[in-house]
Structure formats: C-alpha cells, structure tokens
Amino acid sequence: MKVNQVIDHIVGWLNRQCESAGLHGFTVGVSGGIDSALTSTLCAKTGRTVIPLIMPILQDPNQVPLATRHIDWLEERFENVQGETVDLTPAFLALEKSLPSDIQDDLTMANTRSRLRMVTLYAVASHHRLLVAGTGNKVEDFGVGFFTKYGDGGVDVSPIADLMKSDVYRLAKALDVIEPILSAAPVDGLWADNRTDESQIGASYDELEWAMRFIDDPSFSPEPSPRQREVIEIYRRFHRKNKHKMEPIPTCTIPAELK
C-alpha cells in the first residue's frame, strides 16, 4: 500500500464530499480507539472545521482519558480542530427509566447507547453545518457487519470503509497517532464489562481480514488450517446475520397496474 498517497486520496475525497454538500467540515465520535483516531486525523488534514466529540455513557474511566489525549494531540497540530465532550449518561439513564423494563436486555441497551451517540453527532453537525464522518473500516462494516444499525452506522461519509484493519494501523502510524491508541485493544465502549471487539466476535481482526481475503480469492492462501476454517465460519455467520446492515433498505414497489 502506498500509504502517503492513500492518505492524500482520502483527504481529497473528504474535501470533495464537503464541497459537494455545501457544508463547513466534519464531526467525528472519538472513542480512544484506532478507527476514530485515524478518521478524525484525516478530517483534520482537510483544513476544514472539525469537531471531534467524546460522548461517555457510564464509560470505563480508562477510555475517556485516551480519547481526551487524542483530541489534545489533534488540537496541538491543527488549528481547525475544536474538541468537545458531551456526557450522555444522564440522557441514557432517563431513557432507560422511560423504556419498558422487559425490553432492556444487554444487547438492546448497548445498541441504544450507540444510537444516542448518533443523535448527538447529528445535533452538533446540524447546528455547525458539518458532515458526520463514520469510523467503520472494511472488515467491520462490510465483512462481519460489526456495528449498530442507525448507531455508529448512521453517518454521512465513510472515509476508511475501504481500508482493512491492518491498513488503518499503517495509516495511523504514518500520521503519528499517539502510541497508546496504536497499542490499545479495540473496544466499542458499549458494555459495562469493557469487553473487546475480538472477544465478542470470537476471532482477531488479523484472522477476520485473512478470512475475508480468502473467501474473495481462495488462491490467496494455501489449504486453510483447522483454526482458519473455524474463522471462515465465524466470518460467514456474522456476514449472513448482519447483511441487512450492509444493504439498502428494502422498499416495496407498487406495480404500475395497481396504481
């Protein structure tokens, strides 16, 4: 991969998207993870207004300082960046109190956290006339579909969606993203026990990336090992289950003779 050229390509693409929309810049949800760190840095390099948002909801205390350090780093390097923190814990607790208790299983409420963050990003974007930049990479968004529909999947532009997770690390290193983010285990921040992405999926991102490449082109690799076959099945299971997130909303077309 020609890392510097890819960076320039994405930055140019972001500028064209913003110009086409007639808006001023971007807002990005910053979690302290590698994907949001890369996305916010690429947005900052456009020279346009960038508002990176930290949106804690009953957050693990170790996650917020990492996101804060990244925003401090961005603000030191880019005059066009102004970070903000919006504590969504009171809003989430109020919503939790309003919802029927019998629907409040762990997954439902984790997804509700993500959707509350999406609402906040669009409130900020609307007021400041910005685009919401998504932070999903190729293996997550278009491989296993590891995102919340209308949560972190609810965005205007998706600048890193054609990058594998390994590509994300390459670009982030080239842009000098701070080391603690480069070495942090990927987490979505939606669970009280701070579980990692890879523990939820059952495979590492390197393994999933391999499976995605192998399924697209079996000649890419020799005969898979037993573990690799297991990962292929994990990948296929998640892809099937989450395919509805990756495709356009089904629409009912009325036949002309019925109109």
* pLDDT tens over the chain, length 259 residues: 899 999 999 999 999 999 999 999 999 999 989 999 999 999 999 999 999 999 999 887 766 889 999 999 999 999 999 999 999 999 999 999 999 999 999 999 999 999 999 999 999 999 999 999 999 999 999 899 999 999 999 999 999 999 999 999 999 999 999 999 999 888 777 776 778 888 899 999 999 999 999 999 888 888 899 999 999 999 999 999 999 999 989 999 999 999 9
Say how many C-beta atoms besides its own lie within 10 A of residue 241's C-beta: 11
Estimate the share of the chain in helix, then strand, then coil, as percent rounded to the nearest 5. 55, 10, 35
What domains can you pick out in the chain, each with its CATH number?
Answer: 3-197 (3.40.50.620)
The pLDDT of residue 75:
98
Query: Residues 145, 146, 148, CA angle at the centre, nearest 5°?
Result: 95
The pLDDT of residue 191:
75
Q: Is 148 exposed, middle or buried (0-12, 13-18, 19+ CB in 10 A)?
A: buried
DSSP letter, residue 161:
T
Say how many C-beta atoms besides its own lie within 10 A of residue 122's C-beta: 16
Residue for token digits 């607790």?
93
